[in-house]
Amino acid sequence: MVEILFAKLALPKDGVLVLPVGEDQPLSGQAAVLDEILGGMLSKAMATAEFKGKAGQVLNSYNAGPYKRVILAGAGKPDAPRRAELLGAAITIALAKEAEAVILSEDFTAPQAAEIGLGARLRAYRFDKYRTTQKPDEKVKLEKLKLLTAAPKEAEAAWKIAAAVATGVEFTRDLVTEPANVLYPAEFAERTEGLKKLGLKVEVFGQKELEKLGFGTLLSVSQGSVREPRMVVMQWLGAPGHGDDKKGTKKPKDPLVFVGKGVTFDTGGISLKPAAGMEDMKWDMAGAGTVAGLMAALAGRKAKIDAVGLIGLVENMPSGSATRPGDVVKSYAGKTVEILNTDAEGRLVLADVLYYAQERFAPKFMVNLATLTGAIIVGLGHEYGGMFSNSDELVGKLAASGEAVGEKLWRMPLSKEGEGYDKEIDSAIADVKNIGGGRAGGSITAAQFLQRFVNNTPWAHLDIAGMAWGTKDAGVNPKGATAFGVRLLDHFVRGFE
């Protein structure tokens, strides 16, 4: 983790110095003063290299006066979206082999300086837990960044909030990256219990509790595995003046509720997946990972809102006790489900948790996240998460938040119950079947299934199958787990504080 610090504007005496330069802008302020001290070295280098200050551009000057290295970092156009955080990410890349550096953020406001720090910290993330043979020159050395700003105290206040969000993102990335032999339902639940130190109320429901509740669809997924399931309920009670129950215990009032699919490994069960690529199914719990990271972020920044996160945790394995295609089970909602494909398991987990969430917490809004279907990747690739909703208001708020943080959503169609796509999941022998009639519209029929377990609550389902894992570095995300949804939903929550 990179340590982010802030200090008053003043050129440092030595070390590594980063000078952000706007697109087609000359050196100004302290950067111009330094250039004059160095006899015009920097401006001459800019002209020679045709450095224009475009976003992502980097120009190095080594042994520049007292400095080991001066880096000119392109800051792009002043009105570019997410300019500051993307600059921070680009600076982190340029500094990969340096232990520490100073960034002259003179042309940025204090909150923007904090955004530079956020971009730097998010891009600097590494998961090296299991690496034992790395050579020193293969490791990222960056440990400390100091940003110089006209208002360091204001920047530190903004950074305190941004750092909490970064911690939530990192928590999610760690969970999603862990191998399934390490992160199984009980271990995942135990890690969420560690969030109690942030002020979250955490409840863990085991096999017996879930059986007693009647979570038939969730338990049908886990019954083929030796790993017992869990459901975790995390509550953050940050709203001023929310209600208490008769015993004096705080209870959430009109909470925002988030539900995550947590299949810690998905073989497909009896409907076994092909071997090629099955190792990727360790991150079929990314929806649950996102909800856990979001709750950590909200608690870490002391959000002034009541929020509840619920995650259903299972492992989907084939065995003599596994659910068979054609089995019929009874859900927590009382509806019977014909399971025609055991690889359409995430919706079975969510069905019980969604209904429980509504019944217990009466949400103001409810959002679920899941790596639910490969079909959404066919439709949207790896540029957008799929969004299905029964509320235009909710769609607008989520889409706006996605644009603001660079985690984009695209609305997909959803039919009312008994109409259009919904008819595809009518069962001949039960209340509903867990897949449609064929491959066509697979992500939509999956969403239709979830909607059968949503009453009148404003609700959105985010299918993040194409967004949970990146195969290459991009912006503030290094290759690997992206924690897609943590920042999006944190931004969404701020609209209610």
Q: Indicate which residues carry an active-site annotation.
A: 273, 347
> Cα–Cα distance between 411 and 395 in angstroms, integer?
7
376: three-class secondary structure by DSSP: helix
- Using alpha carbons only, what angle is made at residue 491 by residues 411 and 444, rounded to the nearest 5 degrees? 20
Closest CA to 176 of 49, 261, 88, 238: 261
Taking residue 289's Cβ as centre, other Cβ atoms within 10 Å add up to 34
> Cα–Cα distance between 234 and 357 in angstroms, integer?
11
351: three-class secondary structure by DSSP: helix
* β-bridge mates for residue 484, sequence order: none
Residue ranges of alpha helices (H) inside 99-151 are: 110-123
286 neighbors 267 (Cβ within 8 angstroms): no
Residues 6+ apart with CB under 8 A from 370: 260, 261, 287, 346, 347, 350, 461, 462, 463, 464, 465
H/E segment holding residue 293 = helix 286-300
> Cα–Cα distance between 204 and 48 in angstroms, integer?
62
Which structure tokens are listed for 264?
């810690």
